[in-house]
Amino acid sequence: MTGIVKTYLAYLERERNYSPHTISSYENDLAQFHEFLLRHFETKKVNLDAVDHITIRFFLGDLREQGMSARTIARKLAALRSFFKFLVKRKISAYNPALNVASPRLARKLPVFLDEHAVERMMELPDRTTVEGVRDRALLELLYSTGIRLAELISLTLDDVDMRNDTIKVLGKGKKQRIVPFGRKAKEALTEYLRQRQAIGISTAGQRDGRTVFLSSRGLRLYPKGVYRIVSKYIGLVSELEKRSPHVLRHTFATHMLNRGADLRAVKELLGHESLSTTQLYTHVTVARLKEIYKQSHPRAE
């Protein structure tokens, strides 16, 4: 099974343009499934033709007993569906046993976001007398101004930033490119940072990342953990939210856009969502805002 999994993962990377993060997740899911099959069939070599929908249900039950969340189990089932679909396509298996296995019902989580006043306070916090502080402010402003993902931010190069047209070129999920505008505040912060960025200096180890926009104090490309620490620090200073990831600023961007009347489809394009239903998750906030306005304005609301 190991050889087939490697072929499948290569297919995801080369033909489907899946992100390294997704491929790594699927690899771990399939490794866990393989380990389960060895135990389930009490054998040293797995025969995939012996896997049916009952086997997969047993696997999901095993995951539940391990205390895994419904969301994690659903993702692992999605990985199996995709894997067996590939096997059927390559005529390695006759049918997809995961196709008719019901996915766990997921509780729909509402997005966590900052209010506008918290965002304003946060943007004033970085110490602009230091290059790192100037960088932090530009990073925060760009995340909030564009709603881009963490992976999209750290992969930005100087060539992707168009200061004349106030846009950035983003490489999103599935390696799909999109153009995203940024606002005046982000432009001011970015201009200041790019002017001082050269003071950081590109280290020998970071030569290949020399065109990357956001650098560490050592002149290396900022990695996800570094960005997470920066964002978490500043969100923690203005909010009591438990979740303080860069994705909170993405949620905040979408929520504030919709609250101020932005078209749902336009927000979908800006976020790089495949489906409109994903973007619709943010409309609950707009409804809450409408209720608030209604209570404040209608003479018989109270």
Identified catalytic residue from 197, 251, 256, 273: 273
Tell whether 85 and 145 lie within a shared domain: no
Domain CATH for 82:
1.10.150.130
- Out of 57, 75, 169, 173, the active site residue is 173
**Smallest Cα–Cα separation from 138: which of 230, 233, 255?**
230
In a domain? residue 110: no
What is the model's pLDDT at position 282?
76
In a domain, 240, yes or no: yes
Query: Both 274 and 199 in a single domain?
Result: yes
Residues 141 and 270 in one domain: yes
Q: What pLDDT is attached to residue 126? A: 97
Co-location of 13 and 120 in the same domain: no
Q: Does the annotation mark 256 as catalytic?
A: no
Say yes or no: 179 and 214 in one domain. yes
Residue among 135, 149, 187, 197 flagged as catalytic: 149
Let me know whether 121 and 244 are in one domain.
Answer: yes
Q: Residue 107: inside a domain, yes or no? A: no
Q: What is the mean pLDDT of each run of 10 residues along the chain (302 residues)?
A: 89 83 91 91 83 93 91 92 93 91 77 91 96 96 95 93 94 84 96 87 57 88 92 95 92 90 90 83 70 72 66
Write out the two tokens for 230: 């920066």
120 and 85 inside one domain = no
The residue segments making up the domain with residue 8 are 2-89
At 205 the pLDDT is 46
* CATH code assigned at 169: 1.10.443.10
- Determine the pLDDT at residue 283: 76
Q: How far is CA 95 from the centre of its chain?
A: 32
**8 catalytically annotated:** no
pLDDT score of 46: 81
195 assigned to some structural domain: yes
Indicate the number of domains in the chain.
Answer: 2
What Cα–Cα distance (Å) separates residue 181 from each residue in 78, 137, 168, 214, 281?
34, 18, 6, 18, 22
Q: Does the annotation mark 149 as catalytic?
A: yes
Is 250 considered catalytic here?
A: yes
Q: In the 8-state DSSP scheme, what is residue 215?
A: B
In a domain, 100, yes or no: no
Active-site residue 243, yes or no? no
Same domain (yes/no): 15, 69? yes
Q: Are residues 18 and 156 in the same domain?
A: no
Q: What is the pLDDT of residue 286?
A: 67
Active site residue 16: no
- 122 and 234 co-located in one domain: yes
Do the domain assignments include residue 187?
A: yes
Residue owning tokens 């927000």: 267
- Selected catalytic residue, list 8, 26, 234, 282: 282
Which position among 81, 187, 247, 268 bears the catalytic label?
Answer: 247
Name the catalytic one among 187, 250, 256, 268.
250
pLDDT of residue 107: 66
Q: Does some domain include residue 301?
A: no
**Cα 204 to Cα 201, 208, 211, 220, 243, distances in angstroms:** 10, 9, 13, 9, 36
Residue 220 lies in a domain: yes
